[in-house]
A and B are shown apart, each in its own frame.
Chain A
Amino acid sequence: MTSIVRIYLARLLPQLIALAAILIAISMTFPGFLNLEIQNGRLYGSLIDILNRGAPVVLLAIGMTVVIATKGIDLSVGAVMAICGAIAASSITSGHSLFETILITIAVGILCGIWNGILVAVLDIQPIIATLVLMVAGRGIAQLVTEGAILTFNDAGLIFIGSGSFAGLPMPVVVWLVFGVLVALLVRQSALGMLIEAIGINRQASTLSGVLTPVLLIAAYMLSGLCAAIAGIIAAADIRGADANNAGLWLELDAILAVVVGGTSLLGGRFSIAASVLGAIIIQAINTGILLSGFPPEFNLIIKAAIIVFILVLQSPRFRTAFAFLAVPRRAAKTTEQEAK
């Protein structure tokens, strides 16, 4: 058991160090950043705020991780969020119960995922392009549902999902924690994760060796659609309304960034859901940190770009081979030593 924990920690170490560094940097410029207090049975503080505000990106990153692990990408998640927010708002205002609303919304999200999955798995279209279709059309569909207006609602149950609290934590945090643990257990306690990685490394070889590639691919995009649906419900519940134009705008890029920061290669194969979640929290910590430290928010994007480039350079195969020469002599020396013995 301890060895498993140690392996996990070793995998997450770079992300944990990065997060710690960012948190320390913020707390130096903004004293009181690390303070936590309990009011009315709920935790308050900047740290909790980061976990809470980061909820949509964390959720999207969970689905995106699995899709990217299959060597795919899902550009439509932001638009699906907008569609699902619109569906949730229109369903609750037209008199459906909270349970029905959530069920309908999740079904729509999964349906969007099935659409993407079929384009990728059955029609064999490149994932970037396949999901681009829904990205282009999705916001139009969301506007169609809300009829161009911001659809507001007043249902206490739905609002609770956005701003309520459970066991001292804000509801969105509870939702992504539970969902993330469930997905991580599902892929890691079964062979599912390994099969997904196999598809990402070589789809053709996996198919030939008997992996049900199309089913798993569609399932990956379905999961991504489901994540987008939950994120859409949270985003709509948070502002008590569905905004077809701005809900989830550019969040697909933040989700991809979170996965990349988490160390999952965009070329498919190896993946870690916990690392992606940490990646999403790192991004949110940067956003919040820049705001709190009184730094102009205009620099937000430039800092983000710098971080992506830095991480990508570290990940790039060419960079690794360029620095491999540093490792080679040592290994060579060791073998000669062994031979001498």
Chain B
Amino acid sequence: MKRWGKLTPIAVCVGFLLLYAPLMAVALYSFNAAEKGSVWAGFSLRWYAQLLADPETNRRAWEVREATMNTLVLGVTSTIVSTILGTMLALGMQRFPWPSSVSKLLQIAVDVPVITPDIIVAAALIVGFNLLRFVSPSFNLGMSAMIIGHVTFQIAFVALVVRSRLVLMGPTLSEAARDLYASSWYHFHRVTLPLLWPAIVGGAMLAFTLSLDDFVISFFTCGPSSSTLPIYVYHSQMRGLRTDLFAVSTLLVLGTVVLVLTLERLTRWKRD
């Protein structure tokens, strides 16, 4: 390890540089007075101020706010749905004496969304929705399609996180609770859920992050009417990104960091 020890700090620095150089660039250029591009025209807070501009007079501010709201609504809704479904799936997979063939099939069902490239999930969804649209107009592309798409890939990740915690927990505490005549509900509510809580929160955080990070699935399923921040950015990057998009991205990162820290505190507080 000693000789490797000399290379480790270099690799760690390179790694963190690759991770943080783009974030720093975004944060720094959000204070650029220039409207777009890499020319530095002096420090300014005008783009942050402009985000709060009156939507009546400033259509641009309204669009950016709308896209940000869509991103958050999509993230929160899909996270709630996928966390519930994913946790149930993990419990169902782990806590019942399924024959090994069924267990294997369940394992595959959870693996498939993870090993499918997102562009395939997106392509399948768009083709499927195009057919289903003839059945019912509620299958039009748009926010509902985006939520469905996000939940589809999030479920597997939540199930994986929760399930690994269930494996670690083992059966002993449940058995003890049952021996002490805990009812099913009492057992779930007072034994399983408190022990599983950190993993559920962790899975939900992962799902939310993946939703914020996803572009491909939203891009394919968004339809003409609804846009999220990444789609907005993608469409406007050819002509050069305007600085207000850097400002809103910076705010979004700060917001998520605060959220993650708060959730971390909350789960720690629950455990104490």
Query: Do A and B bind?
Result: no
User: Interface on B for A, CB 8 Å cutoff?
Assistant: none
User: Interface on A for B, CB 8 Å cutoff?
Assistant: none
